[in-house]
């Protein structure tokens, strides 16, 4: 099991030249080959940033993605029409700087045909990242999405011809993601993270009502959802799996508030992942007390550093918070990371690259101070 004291959740801010190149290739102003050159350079810069910060784990910054969860829609047939709003809908809350925002669920959103993968979702990401981290001491990590997060793609009206029930749809999603994990392992990937923000969304009555309207009660989400997560992880003894839980992260906004109390025991004790990456950057996350439910064979990666604001955390403050958490999980089973990605989609959060750089360096400095 990977025991790195520092970690990253996944995404980093996309550089302006990459955002422009994405627009240009869509409009036909540049060729796919030219776009790939810009994309590769953005990944190179993301890896260099993490290496310079002296982190132990590195991702490609999700520079190749429209959103952390866009791969399935981009690379699988049958999902129907969709836009960026497929990942942005909801009643988002924000501070005084960014304010709140309501984005309605797209009316046309819904799988319309049997799912068929056009190509592997993350093999390109990993192979390139592997080449850029080789010999650097960095552990390359790939992020995938929890199958049941895609429940919002199923529609009782539009999907019934292909998938009469939510269960039948998610079964095919599980098959695609399970095969994806197997391919990543075949390519040599040793650290795979499953992003599962929909579990904390069950904490809020309004968002929980949507998920229950899709056909599953709360207890089913916690039971069957975890079973599907475990199914895609499979049985790979030399691979470490991370499991990331957050409360929404788009444009420095969030969806729900509340501690992990309601979901801690079923998730922490039943998920097969060895590293739990948990959001703990503000009072919205509640107390550390739910960590008492974490089994002895798991590491808790504390997301104490916010990606939503330019707040400059200090080594002293972060060290104190880690000591508080160690009342529930021993210090040797704790690690430190940002609370979420810096750019869950191409929109990115309301911070600067300097803020991002400072935060990553402070994570490494804190880990050195706490664990040596």
Q: 345 in a domain, yes or no?
A: yes
Q: What is the pLDDT of residue 215?
A: 84
Rounded mean pLDDT of 219-228?
93
Q: Single out the residue of 72, 153, 71, 70 nearest to residue 105, CA to CA.
A: 153
Q: Single out the residue of 172, 186, 78 nearest to residue 122, CA to CA.
A: 186
Specify the pTM.
0.96
Q: Single out the residue of 131, 259, 247 nearest to residue 196, CA to CA.
A: 247
- Output the CA torsion 304→310→314→318 (10° steps): -10
Rounded mean pLDDT of 134-153?
96
Q: 10 in a domain, yes or no?
A: no
* Cβ–Cβ < 8 Å for 257, 206: no
Residue 238 CA neighbour count, 13 Å, CB half:
8
Q: 183 in a domain, yes or no?
A: yes
Q: pLDDT band at 214, cuts 50/70/90?
A: confident
Q: State the total domains in the chain.
A: 1
Q: 190 in a domain, yes or no?
A: yes
Q: pLDDT band at 207, cuts 50/70/90?
A: confident
Q: Single out the residue of 330, 346, 349, 327 nearest to residue 338, CA to CA.
A: 349
Rounded mean pLDDT of 115-142?
96
Q: 6 in a domain, yes or no?
A: no
Q: Alpha-carbon distance 358 to 361, whole Å? A: 5
- Give CA separation, 287 vs 246, 296, 333, in Å: 14, 20, 18
Q: Single out the residue of 154, 161, 259, 275 nearest to residue 216, CA to CA.
A: 154
Q: Give the pLDDT confidence of 78-128 residue by residue, as tens digits.
A: 998 899 998 988 899 999 899 999 989 888 888 999 999 999 999 999 999
CATH number at residue 284: 3.20.20.210
Q: Single out the residue of 311, 370, 308 nearest to residue 336, CA to CA.
A: 370
Place of tokens 């579990």: 199
Residue 100: give the domain boundaries. 16-371
Rounded mean pLDDT of 192-208?
92
Q: Single out the residue of 151, 147, 149, 176 nearest to residue 165, CA to CA.
A: 151
Q: 180 in a domain, yes or no?
A: yes
Q: 11 in a domain, yes or no?
A: no
Rounded mean pLDDT of 46-73?
97
Q: 2 in a domain, yes or no?
A: no
Reading the block at residue 132, the tokens are 């850029």
Rounded mean pLDDT of 333-343?
98
Q: What is 173-241 written as a DSSP string?
A: HHHHHHHHHHHHHHTT--EEEEE-THHHHTTSHHHHHHHHHTT--HHHHHHHHHHHHHHHH-S-TT-EE
Q: Give the pLDDT confidence of 3-58 residue by residue, as tens digits.
A: 999 999 999 999 999 999 999 999 999 999 999 999 999 999 999 999 999 999 99
Q: What is the pLDDT of residue 361?
A: 98
Q: What are phi and psi of 362, to 5 degrees?
A: -65, -35
């Amino acid at each position: 099991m990977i025991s790195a004291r520092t970690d990253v959740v996944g995404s980093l801010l996309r550089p302006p030249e990459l955002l422009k190149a994405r627009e240009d290739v869509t409009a036909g102003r540049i060729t796919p080959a030219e776009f790939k050159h810009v994309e590769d350079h953005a990944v190179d810069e993301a890896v260099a940033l993490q290496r310079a910060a002296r982190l132990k784990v590195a991702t490609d910054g999700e520079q190749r993605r429209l959103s952390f969860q866009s791969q399935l829609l981009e690379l699988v047939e049958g999902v129907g029409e969709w836009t960026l709003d497929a990942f942005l809908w909801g009643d988002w809350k924000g501070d005084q700087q960014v304010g709140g925002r309501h984005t309605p669920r797209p009316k046309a959103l819904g799988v319309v045909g049997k799912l068929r993968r056009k190509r592997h979702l993350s093999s390109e990401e990993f192979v390139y990242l592997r080449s850029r981290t080789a010999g650097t001491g960095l552990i390359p990590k790939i992020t995938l999405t929890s199958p049941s997060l895609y429940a919002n793609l199923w529609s009782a009206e539009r999907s019934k011809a292909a998938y009469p029930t939510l269960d039948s749809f998610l079964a095919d999603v599980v098959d695609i993601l399970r095969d994806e994990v197997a391919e990543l392992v075949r390519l040599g990937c040793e650290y795979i993270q499953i992003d599962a923000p929909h579990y904390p969304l069950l904490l809020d009555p309004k968002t929980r009502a949507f998920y229950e309207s899709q056909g599953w009660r709360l207890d089913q989400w916690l039971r069957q959802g975890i079973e599907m997560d475990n199914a895609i992880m499979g049985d790979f003894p030399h691979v470490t799996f991370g499991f990331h839980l957050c409360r929404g992260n788009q444009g420095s906004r969030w969806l729900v508030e509340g501690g992990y109390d309601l979901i801690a025991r079923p998730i922490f004790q039943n998920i097969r992942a060895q590293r739990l990456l948990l959001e703990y950057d503000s009072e919205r996350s509640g107390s550390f007390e739910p960590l008492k439910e974490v089994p002895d064979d798991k590491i808790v990666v504390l997301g104490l550093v916010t990606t939503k604001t330019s707040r400059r955390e200090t080594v002293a403050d972060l060290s104190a918070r880690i000591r508080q958490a160690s009342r529930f999980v021993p210090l040797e089973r704790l690690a430190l990371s940002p609370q979420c990605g810096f750019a869950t989609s191409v929109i990115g959060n309301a911070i600067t690259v300097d803020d991002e750089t400072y935060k990553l360096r402070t994570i490494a400095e804190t880990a050195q101070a706490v664990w040596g």
